[in-house]
Amino acid sequence: MQVEKHTRNSGTDFSIDPLDAIRINLSAVQRRVATLGGRRSVKKQWQTAWLLKAISCIDLTSLAGDDTPGRIKRLCAKARNPVRKDILAGLGATELNLTTGAVCVYHQMIETAVASLEGSGIPVAAVSTGFPAGQSPLETRLREIELSVAAGAAEIDIVISRRYVLTGQWRALYDEVKAFREACGDARLKTILATGELGSIANIGKASMVCMMAGADYIKTSTGMESVNATLPVSLTMVRMIREYHEMTGQRVGFKPAGGVSSAKVALSYLVLIKEELGDDWLDPYYFRFGASSLLGDIERQLEHQLTGHYAASNHHALA
């Protein structure tokens, strides 16, 4: 079953059968991800192209208690022009009109971000639903989504109730995510699983499938604030659930690793993972994002090294 290039996931009716069929061999998963960094080495101009692709897939993020309008304006300026113009010119990449995939902020900073990005085509994503713990009342979480969409957020990153996963209440998780999807309206829904808190790799696979059945446009690893965030074994598990869901329904769901993805080298491993497991159609900001704040700085540093042969100090490429 084929779908158009960019379509939203409409979800399916809840069924326990796909969950009962999930079997994950953790040792095999670990062996598979161990091959990503060495078997497919990317060098020279090909590495440049992949790093530029990675930039286009970054949700440039600031989720700090001391965020100010000035900081968010600077973040948005960086999202519009993520790499210094002299570096892009030297690499022959000026014509790409490169930007990051989105800017991700708290609700209070949505209007500032939307105004700062006007005319750029860069969407604003907002974290919602009692982020990062997700322990506030359901009515409050739904209202948060509605307010963020009204303020101009084009994407909503929600957190699921981990207790439903840990206690096997899969229908309750489905109903919750479905309610979140309905509250989003035209805004795209990214469901954060907080994989470091779900107890087992099997739970991660099942939670991924339930969220997709409920209509999630993306499944995302982490808030970035757990003790364990995005890892390649967890990401492989989630990506294979996306592949299985696509085979079942013909619908594409995006993937977003977040937290701990801070180096160009690690970013390349994730891009290889997506290419090999899902194919080129997913190597698109519509279906793949990095949740990151420091990743862009390291990629820009690597691009400058390819151009000059020298590494700049890490503070030479400021993010904001």
User: Among 38-47, 77-86, 239-248, 280-289, where is mean pLDDT lowest?
Assistant: 38-47
Q: How many domains does the chain contain in total?
A: 1
pLDDT of residue 107: 98
pLDDT of residue 4: 59
Assess whether pLDDT exceeds 50 at residue 103.
yes
Cα 277 from Cα 24, distance rounded (Å): 16
For 249, phi and psi rounded to 5 degrees? -120, -15
Who's near 156: CB < 8 A, 6+ residues apart? Answer: 125, 126, 128, 145, 148, 149, 180, 184, 187, 188, 189, 190
pLDDT of residue 311: 73
The residue among 4 and 101 whose pLDDT is bigger is: 101
pLDDT of residue 41: 65
Assess whether pLDDT exceeds 70 at residue 14.
yes
Cα 257 from Cα 239, distance rounded (Å): 10
CATH code (residue 254): 3.20.20.70
Residue 317 in any domain: the answer is no
Range of the domain at 157: 17-307
At 287, list the tokens: 């279906």
Who's near 215: CB < 8 A, 6+ residues apart? Answer: 9, 10, 11, 177, 178, 181, 189
Residue 318 in any domain: the answer is no
Quick one: average pLDDT of 7-17? 96
Share of the chain above pLDDT 90, in %: 85
What is the rounded average pLDDT for all residues in the chain?
A: 93
pLDDT of residue 2: 44
Assess whether pLDDT exceeds 80 at residue 5.
no
Residue 213 in any domain: the answer is yes
Where residue 293 falls among pLDDT bands split at 50, 70, 90?
A: confident
At 207, list the tokens: 């939670």
* pLDDT tens track for 130-157: 999 999 999 999 999 999 999 999 999 9
User: What residues act catalytically?
Assistant: 157, 220, 256
pLDDT of residue 3: 45
Where residue 109 falls among pLDDT bands split at 50, 70, 90?
A: very high
Residue 212 in any domain: the answer is yes
Residue 25 in any domain: the answer is yes
> Strand ranges (DSSP E) for 238-278?
254-256
pLDDT of residue 227: 87
* pLDDT tens track for 193-231: 999 999 999 999 999 999 999 999 999 999 988 888 999
pLDDT of residue 186: 97
Share of the chain above pLDDT 70, in %: 95
Residue 170 in any domain: the answer is yes
Cα 145 from Cα 150, distance rounded (Å): 9
pLDDT of residue 1: 39
pTM for this model (two decimals): 0.94
Residue 9 in any domain: the answer is no
* pLDDT tens track for 159-191: 999 999 999 999 999 999 999 999 999 999 999
